Chain A
Amino acid sequence: MDPGQRRRAIVTAVALAVMAVAVYLTVILKMAVGG
């Protein structure tokens, strides 16, 4: 994996992880603030 490929891979992975955490928090916070 060349450095450019590695950088793109990390950016992709971080974006996907942020998406997963955002979904998780949205579900709980939406319920917590009023359903």
Chain B
Amino acid sequence: MSTAIHAHDHPHGEAHEHHGPPRGITRWLYTTNHKDIGTMYLIFSCVMFFVGGTMAMLIRAELFKPGLQLFNPQFFNSLTTVHGLVMIFGAIMPAFVGFANWLVPMQVGAADMAFPRMNNWSFWLLIPASILLMGGFLAPGGAIASGWTLYPPLSIQQGISMDMTILAIHMLGASSIMGSINIITTILNMRAPGMTLMKMPLFVWTWLITAYLLIAVMPVLAGAITMLLTDRHFGTSFFSAAGGGDPTMFLHIFWFFGHPEVYIMILPAFGIISQIIPAFARKPLFGYASMVYATASIALLSFIVWGHHMFTVGMPAAGNLFFMYATILISVPTGVKVFNWISTMWRGSMSFETPMLFAIGFLCLFTIGGFSGLVLAIAPVDITLHNTYYVVAHFHYVLVSGALFAIMGGVYFWWPKWSGRMYNETLGKWHFWLSVIGFNVAFFPQHFLGLAGMPRRIPDYALQFAEWNMWSSIGAWLFGASQLLLVYNLVTSARSGRAAEQKQWEGADSLEWTHLPSPAPYHTFETAPVIK
């Protein structure tokens, strides 16, 4: 950090950073530059997205028709488990951290993150963690098959791959906590003069709140899996009923982490959408302050709703009612955000480039996921729908058409600033429409399957579920294949796309668009801008 600011003080002849990045592999291994680290996070996330996506394609291949087609049930369970863990911890979370690394310093007018070396460490922890996570497939007994929630007693009984996963999640958690500390410290201490908290772009606000959530709940997950480890190897009985422990207690602790984790994956998406919609509606965001308060309210409420994941474990009726009402309450601040986005578009001078299409796709489809969440929040209904494909449909509407669509919209939105080149707009629109069609064909029928009683996490099913499963598989493959368009578009753009303008999007008004050229230089805001 100080190296960057005082670069002029170094004697000439030293390979100091001021003139641009060093060359070769060491640039990436040792980099402390927030843009390089952001790029590495995004590339890592993209790779893991395709790894997890390949598992999804295999899952849908097995479920294409009834009967066991390709895999034994144990391997199928491993696929669903590792798919979930890879997508959550390897794809979606690192993607948002990549966005944060690229954008938070630029949007608050800082030269870099507060602790650049810790930032480098946060990223490089992901590599051994992901190798451990995926390496379970090569371990004796195969990869873990307990579901991503790692419920005991299955998780106590499984082989060495469970220990590998526990270590991997500890490392991923440490990485997340260090990243969060960096983000909070940067936002609170390094804003440019005049950049008050209530002048910050919404993306920065959502990440500030998300980072607090991460620091509050990742240690809870770490505690739970540390206790799993000691139950497995050191003779404790926290969750082992045979030794007097309580497996249900694990569920309480896990979901005390797990529900805020859902918001960790969606609040930064809200931030991205809050940047994209005003830019393409050419209007300021409607209700900025209420957006900030709604985000904070969602984060606070996320701590008191974990019980809605476990309505069927036999909690007292008063407990079920509390969690039901608390969960339904979340729809109020979420509704504030949705109506604010719609109000921003109202009478705006709108245009529909690819980022805006993804933002509108997000708005429509995430709202469907929100509504199916309300259905599941009703305790008596959930007792019927628990562990069915309705739940699978619900969380994919939230995490794919919610978090992932926002990520893709954000990539198209900021790509010109990152690379200095424009992507192919026609190809981007093809990518959007094929994704929307493929996604809905894949996941909408799963509502019907769940309502008809098809359980999740099974490799075989009754004949009456055959037709919608076939459609679901066809849609999933279409969705998966269409993602190759994104990669092709970005690679060809990086090589030969036309040059992007400083303010590529007319309505974009945050500092990276108004103060910095495209591509953003290696070092930015070494002298902080003054915000009026």
Contacts and interface: CB of A to CB of B under 8 A. Distances in A.
Do these two chains interact?
A: yes
Interface of A: 1, 5-6, 8-9, 12-13, 16-17, 19-21, 23-28, 31-32, 35
A14 to B, nearest CB: 9
A16 B227 contact: no
B219 A12 contact: no
Contact of B188 (A12, A25, A26): A12
B391 interface: no
Given A9-B114, A16-B215, A28 B223 contact: yes
Contacts of B114: 1, 9, 13
B112 to A, nearest CB: 9
Interface residues of B, number: 30
B190 A9 contact: yes
Nearest to A23: B219
Nearest to B113: A9
Given A1-B114, A9-B190, A35-B249, A16 B184 contact: yes
Contacts of B217: 23
A13 B185 contact: yes
B526 to A, nearest CB: 11
A13 B215 CA distance: 11
Among A20, A26, A31, residue most surrounded by chain B Cβ atoms (within 10 Å): A20
- For chain A, what secondary structure do more than half of its interface residues adopt (helix, strand, loop), or is it mixed? helix
A27 B253 CA distance: 8
Contacts of A1: 1-2, 5, 111, 114, 190
12 contacts: A1-B2, A5-B189, A6-B2, A13-B115, A17-B181, A19-B215, A23-B217, A23-B219, A24-B226, A27-B223, A27-B224, A31-B249
B189 A8 contact: yes
- For chain B, what secondary structure do more than half of its interface residues adopt (helix, strand, loop), or is it mixed? helix
A25 to B, nearest CB: 8
Given A19-B216, A23-B217, 4 more contacts: A20-B218, A24-B219, A28-B223, A35-B246
Contacts of A28: 223, 226-227
A13 to B, nearest CB: 5
B189 A9 contact: yes
A18 to B, nearest CB: 10
Among B181, B224, B246, B253, residue most surrounded by chain A Cβ atoms (within 10 Å): B181
B227 A31 contact: yes
Closest CB pairs A-B (n = 7): A27-B223, A24-B219, A23-B219, A9-B114, A9-B189, A12-B185, A16-B181
B237 to A, nearest CB: 11
B220 interface: yes
A24 B249 contact: no
Contact of A24 (B115, B189, B190, B222): B222
B177 interface: yes
B244 to A, nearest CB: 10
Contact of B180 (A6, A16, A25, A32): A16
A8 B158 CA distance: 46
